[in-house]
Amino acid sequence: MPLVSVLVPFYNQGNFLSRFITSLLKQTYKNIELVLVDDGSTDRCGRR
């Protein structure tokens, strides 16, 4: 199975980020590389 890279740039998306990651991990295709790029968030997602 080839590696699929999922690039996710985000800014102030603390309310949605964990739901997105959970949804991605529930997919049937498992050879996934997840790259999260925080663009200087000021909400709670920027402090993890």
Are the C-beta atoms of residues 10 and 17 closer than 8 Å to each other?
A: yes
Predicted confidence at residue 43, as pLDDT, reads 83
Predicted confidence at residue 44, as pLDDT, reads 74
What residues contact residue 1 under an 8 Å CB cut-off, 6+ apart? 29, 30, 31
Are the C-beta atoms of residues 41 and 12 closer than 8 Å to each other?
A: yes
Read off the amino acid at residue 38.
D
Predicted confidence at residue 47, as pLDDT, reads 58
Considering only the C-alpha atoms of the chain, give the largest distance between any 2 of them, rounded to a whole number of Å. Answer: 38
Predicted confidence at residue 1, as pLDDT, reads 93
pLDDT digits (tens, 9 = 90+) for 1-48: 999 999 999 998 878 888 999 999 999 999 999 999 988 888 877 555
